[in-house]
């Protein structure tokens, strides 16, 4: 607990009571030697400079009458605040730092998925794996292979990072926002993590090569978070906060933590349906949740459209037909009940005759029915891959 010294650069001490006489004296000390007293420390400036000097003077006064002062001095620091008031003041000051700068620092714990996922998708696109995966899936609807691939990206990275999101939300709730519900903080961190995954998938569609893709996506998202905290969060309008929160998950995260901090400043639990107290913008926490849900759904859809336009395997010249609905294609080769049989080798037939066994035949192809369309490449693989 701290206590401020007098604002003047000098202070007066009345001390040195002895049995036979009393002396009054004044000590003048530099006011720059500390402006606060912390009772749980013994390294305050007053304890290092002023009180030892005062004790030395008192010892000389006492020695004049043949008395000796004790070496240990009992100190009684004075404060204008109660313990509860001091605690409330500390909470208010700390939450002020969350509102002014720390929300961006907390966001750094969430940005890992952006760096890894963006680089992973760009790397697979550079190696041709994305196009190969879609080309090898014979779905009639060409958006289905792309949907399966993007959903696999989303789900796999969600499983990897979900424990970190849950743990991060629990830590923030316990240490930074103790008056708010754990459920609010944890659920929001999971929603924001899913939104960041969708955002990373969308951002990755603009990179054909893996170089600098992950670090670029990460830097852009951090810069947006800084803009949200410094340029908009303090005195931003409701419209600016709403637009940034809807478009960018990093801004959404910063504004939500600022909303929680504004409630914690007055020792009030976070209320999702109420606007933050003492704020210039009137957007409640539940609105930021809805924005995160929209980002989870919309970003992958936009990613699929952009990817199909820039790199997708599907095009107007590429069509898929099957034998049942081939009215739009011409059949170049048609096989019906095709068979290919190879006779056994002479050595094998010799031993079979010695042991009076029937000669065996090898069925390489048995009862094959196949239509090969014009312009189609058809390959028949055997059991050994040839």
Burial grade of 82 (CB within 10 A; 0-12, 13-18, 19 or more): exposed
Give the pLDDT of residue 168. 93
Taking only the tens place, the pLDDT of each residue in 65-98 is: 788 888 777 776 666 777 777 777 888 888 888 8
pLDDT at 109 over 70: yes
The pLDDT value recorded for residue 84 is 78
Residue 164: pLDDT band (50, 70, 90) is very high
Tell me the three-class secondary structure of 55-102, residue by residue. Answer: HHHHHHHHHCCCCCCCCCCCCCCCCCCCHHHHHHHHHHHHHHHHHHHH
Model-level pTM greater than 0.85? Answer: no
**Taking 60 as the threshold, does the pLDDT of residue 316 lie above it?**
no
If you average pLDDT over residues 295-310, what whole number do you get? Answer: 90
Q: What is the pLDDT of residue 34?
A: 74
SS3 20: coil
The pLDDT assigned to 18 comes to 39
Query: What is the percentage of the chain residues whose pLDDT exceeds 70?
Result: 82
* Tokens standing for residue 121: 């998708």
For residue 3, pLDDT over 60 is answered with no
Which residue in 88, 131, 96, 106 sits closest to 1, CA to CA?
Answer: 88
Instruction: Determine contact, residues 335/329, Cβ cutoff 8 Å.
Output: no
State the chain's mean pLDDT as an integer.
80
C-alpha dist (Å) from residue 171 to 21, 183, 229, 366: 61, 12, 21, 65
> Tens digits of per-residue pLDDT, 197-249?
999 999 999 988 888 889 999 999 999 999 988 877 666 788 888 999 999 99
Is the confidence at residue 306, as pLDDT, over 70? yes
For residue 321, name the pLDDT band (cuts at 50, 70, 90): low
**CA gap 381, 370 in Å, rounded:** 14
- Among residues of the chain, what percentage have pLDDT more than 90? 28
Give residue-wise pLDDT tens across range 10-65: 333 444 443 445 678 888 888 777 777 777 777 888 888 888 888 888 888 888 87
């Amino acid at each position: 607990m701290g206590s401020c010294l007098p604002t003047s650069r000098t202070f007066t001490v009345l001390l040195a009571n002895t049995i036979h006489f009393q002396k009054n004296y004044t000590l003048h000390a530099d006011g720059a030697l500390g402006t606060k007293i912390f009772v749980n420390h013994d390294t305050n400036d007053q304890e290092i400079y002023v009180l030892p000097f005062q004790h030395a003077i008192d010892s000389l006064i006492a020695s004049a009458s043949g008395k000796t002062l004790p070496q240990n001095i009992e100190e009684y620091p004075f404060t204008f605040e109660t313990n509860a008031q001091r605690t409330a003041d500390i909470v208010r000051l700390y939450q002020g730092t969350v509102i002014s700068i720390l929300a961006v620092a907390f966001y750094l714990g969430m940005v890992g998925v952006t760096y890894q996922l963006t680089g992973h998708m760009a790397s697979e696109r550079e190696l041709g794996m994305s196009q190969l995966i879609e080309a090898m899936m014979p779905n009639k609807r060409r958006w289905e292979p792309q949907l399966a691939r993007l959903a696999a990206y989303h789900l796999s990275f969600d499983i990897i990072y979900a424990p970190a999101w849950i743990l991060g939300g629990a830590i923030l709730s316990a240490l930074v926002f103790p008056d708010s519900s754990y459920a609010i903080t944890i659920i929001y961190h999971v929603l924001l993590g899913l939104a960041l995954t969708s955002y990373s998938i969308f951002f990755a569609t603009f990179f054909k090569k893996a170089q600098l893709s992950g670090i670029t996506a990460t830097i852009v998202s951090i810069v947006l978070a800084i803009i949200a905290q410094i340029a908009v969060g303090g005195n931003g309008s409701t419209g600016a906060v709403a637009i940034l929160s809807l478009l960018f998950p990093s801004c959404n995260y910063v504004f939500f933590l600022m909303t929680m901090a504004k409630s914690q400043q007055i020792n009030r639990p976070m209320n999702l349906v109420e606007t933050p107290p003492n704020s210039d913008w009137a957007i409640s926490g539940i609105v930021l949740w809805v924005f995160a849900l929209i980002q989870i759904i919309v970003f992958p859809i936009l990613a699929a459209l952009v990817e199909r336009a820039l790199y997708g395997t599907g095009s107007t010249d590429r069509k898929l037909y099957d034998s049942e609905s081939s009215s739009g294609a011409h059949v170049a080769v048609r096989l019906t009940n095709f068979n290919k049989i190879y006779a056994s080798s002479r050595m094998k037939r010799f031993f079979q005759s010695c042991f009076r066994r029937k000669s065996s035949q090898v069925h390489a192809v048995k009862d094959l029915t196949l239509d090969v369309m014009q312009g189609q490449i058809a390959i028949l693989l055997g059991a050994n891959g040839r």
